[in-house]
A and B are shown apart, each in its own frame.
Chain A
C-alpha cells in the first residue's frame, strides 16, 4: 500500500517538476495526496487541516531544489514538521524525592494498561528498582489475577483489594503507598480499570485517586490503532487529569498510528513509549522520526529530497570554491550563500563542505538579523550593481538603503566588508577560514 501511494506521488510530482519556487499552484496535487495519506493514517480530520496549513505556510516561497519537484519538497517539509510536532523534549519518567514514586496508568478499556504496568515493572527491575504492582481495577473480571500473574512472572509483590481489605480503588491505591513504604518498594505502579472518557463517575474516581495520591506520573495509555475518536478521548482525559505522558500500544501491527499526532496535537503531552508486543520486554522509547515516517509513509520521497539537498549543497560549495579561487565572488554569490545558510540553519554545515575548510570552523555562529539585513540590502541592488559594487555612488547607496529598510551606514558597512573579503579571497587558499568569517558582519 505504501508503494501504491508513493507511485501515485511520483506521478503527481512529475507533472510539477521544473518549477523554481513553491507556490500554491504547484503543490495542489501534493497537498491533496498528503492530506489523503494523513487521513488514511487516522490522523484526526481537523488536526490534518491545521497541520497542513502550518506546513504549507512554511513551504510557500521556498526555492525548489534542482532535481526534485515542488511537491516532493513539500513532502519533506511536512515530514520535518511532523517530527517537530511529535517530538519535543523527551521527558524520562519522574521519580519522587521520597519513595515510593507513584506511576498511574489510565485509559480506555483494553488499551493495554495492565500489560504496560508489567512492562514498566520489568524495565524498573532492570534498573535496580523495586516496583510494587497495585491492582486498582476492581471491575474487570480477573483483572487483579491478571496483574498478579505478571507479578509472579517478575517475582515482585502485587497489592490488591485482598491486601487492602476493600473493593474501593481509592483505598487500594492509598493503602498501597503505605505498604510500599513499609516493604521497601520504591515505585508503586497503579493499574486502574479501563473506562470510557464519558463515564463521569469513573472519571471522578481517577480524579480522586490523583488528588489523594499525587502520582509523579500519570500515563495515558492509548491503542495505537485508534481512529478519529482518539481526539475526543484524549481531550477528556487530559482535561480531567492533566496527565503527564502518553503511551501508544499495539504498535507491532501495521497501523499507521495517526492517533499519535492527534493525541500529541490535542494534549501537548509527550509520547513516552510505544508498546510493541504482548511480552513484558516489548516496550520501546518513542522516536519522533520513525513515527513521522510511519504516519506519512512516503519514505522514498523524503530520502529523495534529502539526497537532492545534499547533492545541491555540495555542488554549490564546489562552485563557490571555484569562485573564491578565481576571485569572481560577487555580491550575488554572497547573497545566495546567506540564503542557503539560513535554509540550512548553520554556517558550519555549508562551509564544512568546502574541501579543506571543514573541521576548522566549529563553534562559529551567525546572527540571523544581521544576515537578514544583508540579504535585504543586496536584493535592493540591480544586477549590475551586484556585480560591480565598487561603482556605487552616494545616490544609489541612499536608494538601496531606503529600498531595504536599512541606513546608508549599513550599506556602506556591507560594501566595505565585502571589499575586504574580496581582497582576502586572493589569499584564500592560505587563510584560516575563521578569520574570513570575522570580517563578515554579524559573524562571531
Chain B
C-alpha cells in the first residue's frame, strides 16, 4: 500500500464528513450565491483553518471567479484545493528522509506542548530510519514525566535501536553524555525526546534553550533539526505554540499527529505560512508504521476527494 493510499484510509472519516458537503455545494448546475460562500466558510472554519485564513481563501476564490466570466461549480472546488495545497506547501518542501543522511550523526530534537505525541513519533521515526539501514540512538531527555523513559524504552525495543536514559535529574546533563556517545560516529541519527512543556512557561522554555545549547556545543551544526510536534486536534492555540517554540529555538519542521480521528488539522494551513518550515510527517495512529511523509497534494486530496 502506498503512503497516499494509507493516508486516504486513515483519513477516511474526515473525508466522509467533508467530501459529502463539498460535493453537495459544488454539484453540477449548482448556483453560486451568498449561501454557497457561507457554507464554504463554515466548512473551512470547522476544519480549524481559523477565521482570518478562511476569509483569505474565500476572498481569493471570489476574485478569481470575478475575473473569469463563467465558472462551473466543480472548477471552484478545484480552485479551493489548489489554494489549500499552495498554503500547505508554501513553496517549501523537503523530506526528512532525504536530509538525515547529510550529516553523521544527524541530531533531531523533538519539542512540543504536553501530550502531543513526541515520544510516540520518535518511536515511529526510529523504526523508519532503522528500516532504511541507519543506526539510530534515542535520548530519553524527558526526565520529568512519570515513566517517560520507560515509555521511550519500549519504543526503542520495538524499533530495535539503542537508547540513553537516566533516572530523573537534569535533562541537559543527560544530553551532554548522550552527545558524547553519539560523537563516536557509529550512529547516523540521534533522536532526542524532550518533556512536554507549555509554550507559556518561561522557565521550561529556558530549559529547552539550554538543552539545545548543550547539543550545539557538543556537535558542530547540531541539532540539525528541531521539530515541533503538534496535536492535530488542537485549535487556534497551535499558532501560539508554534510562535513561542520558534522563538525559543529555531524550528526546522513540523509533525502533526492524531489525524486518524475526525480532526482536520486546519491550523496547519496558517501555521505553515507563518513559520515557513516544511511539514515532514503526519501521525495517523499508535503503531510503529503510522507515520506518513507529508505531501500537500496527497493530504488535501485525501480529505476532499
Contacts and interface: CB of A to CB of B under 8 A. Distances in A.
Interface of A: 36, 39-42, 44-46, 108-112, 114, 118, 139-142, 145-150, 153, 196-198, 223, 225-230, 232-233, 250, 252-256, 258-259, 278
A227 B150 contact: no
Interface of B: 13, 42, 45-48, 50-51, 113-117, 123, 144-147, 150-151, 153-155, 196, 198-201, 231, 233-238, 240, 258, 260-264, 266-267, 286
B35 to A, nearest CB: 14
22 contacts: A42-B48, A45-B42, A109-B117, A110-B117, A110-B231, A110-B258, A141-B151, A141-B154, A142-B147, A142-B150, A146-B147, A146-B150, A147-B146, A196-B260, A198-B13, A227-B267, A233-B262, A250-B114, A250-B115, A254-B200, A259-B235, A278-B144
Contacts of A108: 233, 258, 261
Contacts, number: 140
Given A39-B51, A225-B234, A227-B233, A198 B262 contact: yes
Contact of B236 (A44, A227, A230): A227
Contacts of A118: 146
A148 B263 CA distance: 32
Instruction: Identify the interface centre among A198, A223, A259: most chain B CB within 10 Å of its CB.
Output: A223
B233 A229 contact: yes
A226 B235 CA distance: 5
Given A109-B286, A142-B154, A255-B237, A45 B45 contact: yes
A9 B146 CA distance: 45
A253 B200 contact: yes
A198 B237 contact: no
A276 to B, nearest CB: 10
A145 B234 contact: no
Interface of A is mostly: loop
Contacts of A230: 233
B144 A227 contact: no
Contacts of B262: 197-198, 229, 232-233
A229 B264 contact: yes
B235 A225 contact: yes
A112 B115 contact: yes
A150 B145 CA distance: 10
Nearest to A43: B235
A279 to B, nearest CB: 10
Nearest to B117: A110
Given A141-B151, A228-B47, A253 B261 contact: no
B145 to A, nearest CB: 7
B217 to A, nearest CB: 28
Given A108-B233, A110-B231, A252-B200, A228 B144 contact: no
Contacts of A197: 261-262
B51 A40 contact: yes
